[in-house]
Amino acid sequence: MLGAFVRAFKTPDLRRKIVFTLAIMAVFRLGSFVPAPGVSYTNVQQCLNGLDTQSDLLGLVNLFSGGALLQLSVFALGIMPYITASIIIQLLRVVIPRFEELHKEGQSGTAKLTQYTRYLTIALAVLQSTTYVAVARSGNLFPSSSGACSQVIPDDSVVILLLMVLTMTAGTGLVMWMGEMVTERGVGNGMSLLIFTSVAATFPTSVLAIGRERGWGTMAIVILVGLLIVAAVVFVEQSQRRIPVQYAKRMVGRRMYGGTSTYIPMKVNMAGVIPVIFASSLLYLPGLVAQFGDPTSDWVTFIRNTFTRGDHPAYIVAYVLLIIFFTYFYVAITFNPDEVADNIKRVGGFIPGVRAGRPTAEYLDHVLTRITLPGALYLGLVALVPLVALVAVGANQNFPFGGTSILIVVGVGLETVKQIESQLQQRHYEGFLR
C-alpha cells in the first residue's frame, strides 16, 4: 500500500490533484480557526473549556464544522447548509414532478438541480448564521453562567451583527466553492472530503483529552476499541449483495452484441450516515420545545429527564427505532426498483430465474427490504457506541470512535482510496490491493 502511495506521487497529473486537494483541506482548516468580526476569541475559548459538544444537534453541526461553529469562526457553518440543501432537494424529487424530470434528463438536468441546491444553500446559510449570531448575542450558545459566555460578542450593534451574518454566509459560499473545485480538479468528492477533514481533525485532541482525564491506560483501551470499530465498519461498508444480470445476444448489422453477464451491487448500508443525522435532529426537537415551556411543569421535567440524556433507556430505544425508520425511508427514496427493472428490460437484460418487467421489480424490492434490516441495525449499533463509552469509561464527551464520525471517516476514506486506485490502474500501475 505504501508503494502505491509513492507511485501516486510519482505520477505528475495525479500528484497535482492530490496536492491541490490537500491545499484546499488546509485552507478549510485554517478558516475554521479565524474568528468572525466582532467575536471575542478569548471569551469563546474560556466558554469552550469543559463543554460537552456531543450532547445534541448543535454538537452534531459543530462536528461537521470541525469545531468551528462554537468558535464562531469564518467557516462556522461549515458544509452543513449544503448537506441540508442537498437532502431537501433530493426529498423534493418525490413530491415535485419537475425535479424528478430534471433528474431523468441526465447531465443538463443534474446541473439545474445543482444550481437549485446552491441557491438553497445560501438561503439556509443566511437563516442559520442569523440564528447562531442571535443565540450567541443572548449568551445562550454556551450553557454556562460565566460572564465570559455572555460577552462572546462585546459590541452587539446592528452593523457588527450584520457583518457577522454576511461573513458566515460568505464563508459557507466559499466552502461550497472549494468542495466543487476539489471534485473537479482534485481527488474524490470535494464535499465529502471537507466533512472528512472536519471530523478527522477532532480525533487527536479527543484521544489526548481522554488520556489526561481518565489515564493513559484508558486512552490505550479507547484506541484499541477504535481500531476494532473501524475494522468492523470497513467490513460492513464493503459488504454487498450482488444481483446477477445477463444480457441476451442480439444482431446489429453484421455484428453480434450482448451475451455478457454482470451484477447489480446492493450494499448492506445503502443509506450511509443520513439516518443517524435525521434521528439525531428529530430527537433534539423535544428538548428544544421544552425550553419554551414552564420549567416546573411535569411534561418539561419529563422531557429533560428523558430526551436530553443520552444514557436514558427511553432515549436509546427511540434513537434506534428512528434510525431503523429513516434507513428504510431513505433507501426507498434513493433506490427505485421499478426504475432499475425498466432500465434492465430496456437494454435487453434479465435476472436469471426472474421474468423481466414487474416480476423483476418485485424481486429487487424483496431483496432490498431484507438487506436493509441488517444495515439499519448496524447503523443503530454504531450510533450507540458513544453512549456505551459513557457507561464504560465515562468518555462520552471526548470519545471519537463512534456514531456519525466513524461512519463519515471510514466511508469517505474508502471512496477516496478507490478513486486513487482506479486512476493508478488506468496508468498501468498496481493498486493498493494486490
Instruction: Please report the DSSP string for 51-113 in residue order.
Output: --TTSSHHHHHHHHTTT-TTTTBTTTTTTHHHHHHHHHHHHHHHH-HHHHHHHHT-HHHHHHH
**What is the maximal distance between C-alpha atoms in the chain?**
84
Number of domains in the chain: 1
Instruction: Give the model's pLDDT for residue 390.
Output: 59
Distances (CA, A) of 412 to 63, 193, 337, 384, 407: 15, 7, 26, 21, 8
The answer as to whether 97 is a domain residue is: no
Residues 10-36, mean pLDDT to the nearest whole number: 86
> Which segments of 291-357 does DSSP mark as H helices, in order?
298-306, 313-334, 337-346
Element (H, E) at 350: strand 349-350
Residue 283 has pLDDT above 80, yes or no: no
Question: What is the rounded distance in angstroms from the CA atom of residue 231 to the CA atom of residue 223?
Answer: 12
pLDDT tens-place string over residues 312-321: 778 888 888 9
Quick: pLDDT tens for 65-91: 666 667 778 888 888 888 888 888 887
- The Cα–Cα gap between 418 and 432 comes to 9
Q: What pLDDT does residue 140 have?
A: 66
* pLDDT given at position 191: 83
- 49: Cβ contacts below 8 Å, ≥ 6 apart: none
Who has greater pLDDT, 302 or 242?
242
Q: Is the pLDDT of residue 251 over 80?
A: no
**Which residues neighbour 206 within 8 Å (Cβ) at sequence distance 6 or greater?**
398, 399, 400
Question: What is the radius of gyration, based on Cα positions, of the chain?
Answer: 24
Residue 311 counted as domain residue: yes
The whole-number average pLDDT for the span 3-27 is 82
Q: How does residue 54 score in pLDDT terms, banded at 50, 70 and 90?
A: very low
Mean pLDDT, residues 369-383 taken together: 88
> In DSSP terms, which residues pair with 35 in a beta bridge?
73
DSSP string, 140-178: -SS----TGGG-SSS---HHHHHHHHHHHHHHHHHHHHH
pLDDT reading at 247 higher than 60: yes
Over residues 237-244, mean pLDDT: 87
How far is 70 from 48, CA to CA, in rounded Å?
8
- Report pLDDT digits (tens) over 142-192: 655 455 566 778 777 888 889 989 999 999 999 999 988 998 888 888 888
List Cα–Cα distances, 62 to 77, 200, 287, 327, in angstroms: 8, 13, 18, 23
In a domain, 333, yes or no: yes
Residue 192 lies in a domain: no
Contacts (Cβ under 8 Å, ≥6 apart) of 45: 71
Query: Taking the alpha carbons of 303, 307, 308, 313 in that order, is the dihedral positive or negative?
Result: positive
Q: Find all residues with CB under 8 Å of 22, minimum gap 6, and list them.
A: none
With a cut of 70, say whether residue 33 has pLDDT above it.
Answer: yes
pTM for the structure as a whole: 0.76
Q: Is the pLDDT of residue 395 over 60?
A: no
**Is residue 221 in some structural domain?**
yes
For the domain that residue 322 is a member of, what is the CATH number? 1.10.3370.10
User: Is the pLDDT assigned to residue 120 strictly greater than 80?
Assistant: yes
Q: Is residue 3 part of a domain?
A: no
Q: What confidence score (pLDDT) does residue 330 get?
A: 85
The mean pLDDT value for 335-358 works out to: 84
Rounded CA gap, 325 and 243, in Å?
A: 25
Who's near 418: CB < 8 A, 6+ residues apart? none
Task: Give residue 253's pLDDT.
Answer: 65
392 band by pLDDT with thresholds 50, 70 and 90:
low
Instruction: Say how far apart CA 160 and CA 224 lie, in whole Å.
Output: 47
CA distance 1 to 170: 40
In a domain, 419, yes or no: no
Residue 52 has pLDDT above 80, yes or no: no
Mean pLDDT, rounded, for 295-316: 74
Cβ atoms of 65 and 195 closer than 8 Å: no
Please check the confidence at residue 389 and state whether its pLDDT lies above 50: yes
What average pLDDT does range 283-312 have in this prediction?
72
Query: For residues 272 and 178, which has the higher predicted lDDT (pLDDT)?
Result: 178
Task: Kindly state the DSSP code that residue 35 receives in the 8-state scheme.
Answer: B
| pLDDT > 70? residue 1 | no
- Is residue 326 domain-resident? yes
Domain that holds residue 280: 214-399
Checking if the pLDDT of 234 tops 80, the result is: yes
